[in-house]
Amino acid sequence: MTLKYLITGATGGLGAQVLAYFIANVPASEYAAASSRESNRKQFTDRGIAFRHVDYNDPKTLEESFHDVENLLFVSTNTFDNEVRRVQHQNFVDAAKKAGVGHVWYTSLAFGGFRSDSKVAVQQAHLMTEEMLRKSGITFTSIREGIYTNAFPLFANWYPQSTTITLPSNGRMALTVREELGEATARLIISGGHEKEIVLLTAQESISFSEVVDIINETTGRDVKLDIVSADEYVRLNGDNDTGAKPTAFFQTLLSWYEGIANGEASMTHPLMKEVLGREPTGAKEAIRRILIENPDYTWHQNYAK
């Protein structure tokens, strides 16, 4: 029996939002949730949601779970190690091809907009995966998702106790609310089309780091300063004193991100998300204000060493 939709990463941030839209709008017989952990099965089956185990490190689980799937949401893994991601993603693509999946919907990232020449380390992994999909001959759509507004503390390296934010760039980003990206991604999959295309889902405005700091101060009554420094100073100052205990190597890795941001790679917008949602996506300024009004001490999990 053909399964119309399989949602991988269903316990993750974006995948869970995609699944939430399916639960609210699609008959349960048409979709299933997937996770890398078999132990997550019960939380879905108890709610009447079919479950499939997909471990990106275990091709056997992928091949078994992708059998008879028409539309497959391919949520990228969350490692910063591009070599590990390369192996995992190649396993995924090979299994999807072997299983005869009808259409793979891949969650890429929006650095560089529609261009495919970004040198940002994290985008390199997505470009590599898009090439895997092209070479496989699978019908696919690469959904280049805007940087999450929800993750603004990570990109600004801001903590509730911060008095100064030290960054190597004051570039602009088209930050986009993760919950709305999940809804837009689900709507896009359900609508279909966009075969062998790259699409861009972003909110319609960009924001600079200085504007983020202004909103933090205006909304919470803080007096946070923004200090723009050289790349070497950014790595040294943050690596030696990071509140989240992230190592120096982490900040070294992020330098390419800030270079891309400084070059305008994260500021590109596109109207598709507005068209798919049928409404204006929430802009970064409004979204950050809402977050901080609800919780002035808001934090983001990736800002802390695991």
pLDDT digits (tens, 9 = 90+) for 205-242: 999 999 999 999 999 999 999 999 999 999 999 998 89
Check residue 148 and report its DSSP letter. B
Q: How far apart are CA 179 and CA 186, in angstroms?
A: 11
pLDDT band at 248 (very low <50, low <70, confident <90, very high): very high
Q: Quote the pLDDT of residue 82.
A: 84
* pLDDT tens-digit readout, 20-43: 999 999 999 999 999 999 999 999
- Whole-model pTM: value is 0.95
Count other Cβ atoms within 10 Å, centred on residue 107: 24
Two tokens, residue 298: 């808001």
Rounded CA Rg of the chain:
19
* pLDDT tens-digit readout, 160-212: 999 999 999 999 999 999 999 999 999 999 999 999 999 999 999 999 999 99
* pLDDT tens-digit readout, 60-98: 999 999 999 999 999 998 877 888 999 999 999 999 999
Q: Quote the pLDDT of residue 77.
A: 85
Is pLDDT above 80 for 1?
A: no
As a dihedral over the C-alpha atoms of residue 39, residue 41, residue 47, residue 51, rounded to 10 degrees, the angle is 160
- Among 110, 272, 112, residue whose Cα is nearest residue 204: 272
Domains in the chain with CATH codes: 3-147+176-201 (3.40.50.720)
* pLDDT tens-digit readout, 121-140: 999 999 999 999 999 999 99
Q: Quote the pLDDT of residue 137.
A: 97
